Amino acid sequence: MKYRLGTRRSELAKTQSTQVLEELKKAGVECELVFIDSAGDKNHKDALYEFENATPGLFTKQLEVALLEDRIDLAVHSLKDLPTDLPKSLLIGAITARVSTEDWLLIHFDAFDAQEPLFLKKGARVGSSSLRREAQLLEVRTDLQVVAIRGNVPTRVIAVREKKVEATVLAAAGLLRLKLNLDGLHVLKLAEREFPPAPGQGALAIEIRDDASEELKTGLQNLHDLNSETETRIERRVLKGLFGGCTLPLGVRCYKEGKLLKAKVFIGVLKDRKSVNKEWVGFHHFDISSQDEETLVDSIVQKAKGILNV
C-alpha cells in the first residue's frame, strides 16, 4: 500500500516532506506526495501575527482538513507552525530530531557594519513578519526598521539580495534543509541565550489520524527522536499555557543537562497587543531549571503571566 503524504507546495515543505518520504521508504513504508494549498501560501500580503488572529494554523489547517476528510494519510509540518491544540482524532505520530534551533540574520553587504551591534548599519531595514524576531532585534538596536516581509524562504533570501530589504531573520533549520547558496550575504548566527527561538523550532512533526494503520505508526517510530519530543513538548506546553501563537512575542528553548531540564525564555511586551501601531514597552529574559517537567512548565508560565499581566 502507498500512503498519501500531504505537503504544501513551498520548496521547504516539499524538501521536508521528501526527506520524510525517503526515511519511511527505508523503513519499508511507501508514500506518495499529495499537494495541498494552505491559507498561508495564498496570502503573502498580511504579516503573520495579523493573519494568525483571523486564521489560526494558517500553514497547517488545510492539511489537517485533508487528513480528517481521508484525502491524505499523513502530513508533515514544521512543528513551530502547528497549533498546540490538534483536532479531535488527529495526533502527532513522530517528532524528528532538530536540525538546528537557531535563527540566522542574513545581511546584504551594503548594509554590513562591523562596528555596530548585529553588524547592521544604522537604520537598516530588516524584513520579518515575526513579532518575536522584531522584539528581539529592537531590544538590541532601537534604530532598526523592521518591515513586514512574507513569502517562502528562497523568496525572502532573494529580497535581501535585491535590496528590497537590507537583512532578514530566518530559521537556520530551513536554510540548512534547503542547502541554499548564501554567497554574497553576511550570515550572523544569533546566539540562543539572547535570541531564544520559537517553541518547537527546528523539528518536524508528522501528523496522522488516530485510526492510522499499525504499519504506518510503526514506520514513523523510525523517525521519532525522544530528546526532541521532550524539549518541544515542554516548549509547546508553555505556549499553550500562555494562549500564544504567532501573536505572542515568545521565545523558548528547553534542553536537558544531566538530570536537569533547563529553559531559556524571552518575552516582548507590547503596550497594546490589539493596536495596529506597535509600541514596545519591555523585553524580558529569564532562565529556569527543574528536575520535574510539571514544575518547570508551571514556573515558566506563572513568571511569564506576571510579566504580561494576564
Q: What is the pLDDT of residues 139-177, one digit of tens each?
A: 999 999 999 998 899 999 999 999 999 999 999 999 999
Nine cell digits for residue 8: 504544501
Q: What is the pLDDT of residues 96-145, one digit of tens each?
A: 999 999 999 999 999 999 999 999 999 999 999 999 999 999 999 999 99
CATH number of 103-190: 3.40.190.10
Q: Which residues are catalytic?
A: 81
Q: What is the pLDDT of residues 262-281, one digit of tens each?
A: 999 999 999 887 666 789 99
Report the CATH architecture of 238-308.
2-Layer Sandwich (3.30)
Say what the pLDDT of residue 59 is.
Answer: 75
Nine cell digits for residue 111: 548594509
What residue ranges do the domains of the chain occupy? 2-96+203-224, 103-190, 238-308
Q: Which CATH class is domain 2-96+203-224?
A: alpha beta
Are 2-96+203-224 and 238-308 equal in CATH topology?
no
As a whole number of angstroms, the distance between CA 116 and CA 207 comes to: 44
Determine if the pTM surpasses 0.85.
Answer: yes
Q: What is the pLDDT of residues 185-228, one digit of tens each?
A: 999 999 999 999 999 999 999 999 999 999 999 999 999 999 99
Greatest CA separation found in the chain? 59
Say what the pLDDT of residue 40 is.
Answer: 52
- The string of DSSP letters for the chain reads -EEEEEE-SSHHHHHHHHHHHHHHHHTT-EEEEEE---HHHH--SS-HHHHHHHSTTTTTHHHHHHHHTTS-SEEEEEGGGS-SSPPTTEEEEEEPPPS---EEEEEEGGGB-TTSGGGB-TT-EEE---HHHHHHHHHH-TT-EEE---S-HHHHHHHHHTTSSSEEEEEHHHHHHHT---TTEEEEEEPTTTS---TTTT-EEEEEETT--HHHHHHHTTT--HHHHHHHHHHHHHHHHTT-STTS-EEEEEEEETTEEEEEEEEEEES-TT-SS--EEEEEEEEEEES-HHHHHHHHHHHHHHHHT-
